[in-house]
Amino acid sequence: MNIVIPIKQVPETSNVKMDEETGTMKRDGVESIINPLDLYAIETGIQIKEEYGGTITVITMGPPSADKSLKEAIAMGCDDGILLSGREFAGSDTWATSYALSEAIRAIGEFDLILAGERATDGDTGQVGPGIASWLDLTLSTYTSKVVDIKDKSVIVERMVEDGYEKLQLPLPALLTVVKEISFPRLPTLRGKQRSRKVEIPQWNLSNLKMKEDFLGLNGSPTRVVNIDHPKVTRGGTVIDVRNDASIEKAVSQLIDYLKSKELV
């Protein structure tokens, strides 16, 4: 089983707090981490490798500093890392990103399975995983919640849809995007960390990888961001404190009045 896992380095936002005055999120001085939703893909890959053997290559497109995330994935149990990095990739949208990643994956050679997180917590699009499958003409299962079996050159999975779970059989090579339910990510081990320090991460770009230049970066991206707004998240609603003998009954009836005023009851 040769597995490729595209991952993304994103800003760590779990400790971000709201700015009381502007009502927006404070985002200064945040660290970079592996997209938390990619950890489920990494864990799934390691479990498959443990059962069926093979190697796992993690790949990311990003600044040179993104090799930190690749090393962390290797410390968890992945084997190799590839960093796609260069000016030519700057400004890529999901179309151009999935193109560059798919060309790099092609260059890695034979693989059976690509595993990706459902979406990245910064861009929130969920389009790169399916996009890579489309570029490489792979079979695709999104929102995958369980790998049931791998046999006869195919993978049987469950995918979570609105009202339940579909069971699909996909011939390999296949691409799965996965959700949290599929696995519980392990932490890097000490031995893994030591190993990751020794692993050389090659850096790929137009100078050593054949790609269509006009499909890359901002130039290759069909979409353009034309405006960014920072919406207020605070609403300044009514808050009634009933902790000190204020009447709960009255507070609840005010809530019901509120719901009535919005025609919700």
Ligand X SMILES: Cc1cc2nc3c(=O)[nH]c(=O)nc-3n(C[C@H](O)[C@H](O)[C@H](O)COP(=O)(O)OP(=O)(O)OC[C@H]3O[C@@H](n4cnc5c(N)ncnc54)[C@H](O)[C@@H]3O)c2cc1C
User: C-beta of 40: minimal distance to ligand X in Å?
Assistant: 10
CA-CA distance, 113 to 171, in Å (whole number)?
10
Residue 19 carries which side chain, given as an amino acid letter?
D
36 counts as binding ligand X under rule CB under 6 A: yes
Q: Compute CA 208 distance to the chain's CA centroid, rounded to the nearest angstrom.
A: 26
179 counts as binding another protein under rule CB under 8 A: yes
Longest Cα separation, the chain: 72
15 counts as binding ligand X under rule CB under 6 A: no
Residues 47-86 touching another protein, rule: CB under 8 A, are none
User: C-beta of 79: minimal distance to another protein in Å?
Assistant: 26
171 counts as binding another protein under rule CB under 8 A: yes
187 counts as binding another protein under rule CB under 8 A: no
- With CB under 8 A as the contact rule, the residue among 2, 44, 57, 94 that binds another protein is 94
14 counts as binding ligand X under rule CB under 6 A: yes
Nearest to ligand X of 90, 246 (CB atom): 246
CA-CA distance, 47 to 86, in Å (whole number)?
32
244 counts as binding ligand X under rule CB under 6 A: no
User: C-beta of 128: minimal distance to another protein in Å?
Assistant: 8
CA-CA distance, 187 to 241, in Å (whole number)?
42
User: C-beta of 98: minimal distance to another protein in Å?
Assistant: 7
User: C-beta of 192: minimal distance to another protein in Å?
Assistant: 23
Under 8 Å between Cβ of 2 and 54: yes
Buried-state track 80-105, b at ≥16 Cβ within 10 A, e below 16:
bbbbbbbebbeebbbbbbbbbbbbbb
What is the chain's alpha carbon radius of gyration, rounded to the nearest angstrom? 22
Nearest to another protein of 25, 90 (CB atom): 25
Q: Tell me the backbone φ, ψ of residue 106, rounded to 5 degrees.
A: -55, -40
